[in-house]
Amino acid sequence: MLTLVGIAIVGGAVGFKRHSRLTPEQALTGVFIGIVTAATGAVLFDALSIDVQYSAATMPFSRSLYPLIAFAVGLTIMIGSLSIGWFRWRTRPRYTGLGFILGLWVTYPYLIPGPASNSHPLGYLLALSLPIAVGYILKKDAAHVIRDVFRDPVARRFGIGVAVVVGLFFLFITGYLSVFPEEGLPHEPKLVVLPVIYQLVSWPTLEVVRPHIPFFLAISPGLVIVVGLLSSLIGFNAGIIARYWRIEESAGLTEGTAGTATVVGSCTCGCCGPLVAKIAILAAGPSIAAPLYWVFVDPASPLGVLFIAGSIALFTGSLVYSIESATRSSEIADFSPAD
């Protein structure tokens, strides 16, 4: 219920801004309050709802098909990236390069089968190459806009605020951060570093448990890479839209097509398989939820990695697209991407 209230607040703030009933600053405040409310509701729903255990009999297909699915999806991503790069962005091979990296993320566990993949240098190279590739794209196509955003105190605060909320939301939903009593945790405070597999390879993971607060945190370099990258991309999207709104007001312009669509995209994160499964239980029962759970939550499923890869591609693309849309519509004359 709280999540729906938050979504309604975001929609209302955007709608009132479009009809000039709110100033950009007031609308941004409303949007941020709505995002915090929706995220809080989702976290509470995830923490307080009943955890359902699924048996292997509820799997939609055998795990023996996972390698085939992984290679099919990974090759499709790479071939699609090559085709789009050749026909649409020949002068920007960086987009094709990012697509190849994302495709390899999906196929990697089956390129090097067995326990060897948990600590193989190729896995660490892929994990580190992803933020480098995205950072290079942002430097070439969005650095000038991001610098302008950070010079605007309102846009800067909004973007950073959204990034922090999304980062915390991701940590709560995925179970790496909790402030709720949970079964199975130690009864004494604990601070320990353990090797934990997260996104391709094994990382040294710091676990902090304070059962009397209660408080649990697990943090690793791999988690920092994924959460930091996703939250930063969403924060940049949000900050750019905040900047657009303020420039539109000062120039007396109407809101362009890049505005509302990117705000909605910036506040959406495709990393919530367990939450989706729980919502499906309420909506249609375990028969619908079980396949969702196994497809997106099972650590061996290649589609779990696809969620991460798709989210990074989506938010990187929306960032570049919003800049180009504003340039084409002459909303911001000096916002031009670099070839």
Q: How do residues 62-78 score in pLDDT, each as one tens digit?
A: 778 888 988 999 999 99
- Mind listing the pLDDT tens digit for each residue in 146-165? 888 889 999 999 999 999 99
Query: φ and ψ at 193, to 5 degrees?
Result: -110, 125
Helical axes 121-141 vs 93-111, angle rounded to 10°: 160
Tell me the percentage of the chain whose pLDDT exceeds 70. Answer: 77
CA 27 to chain CA centroid, Å, is: 23
How far is it, in rounded angstroms, from Cα 55 to Cα 66?
18
pTM (two decimals): 0.85
Q: Is the dihedral of CA 16, 268, 156, 175 positive or negative?
A: positive
Residue 280 banded pLDDT, cuts 50, 70, 90 = low
- Mind listing the pLDDT tens digit for each residue in 197-233? 888 899 999 999 998 888 999 999 999 999 999 999 9
Q: What is the pLDDT of residue 254?
A: 47
Q: What is the pLDDT of residue 287?
A: 64
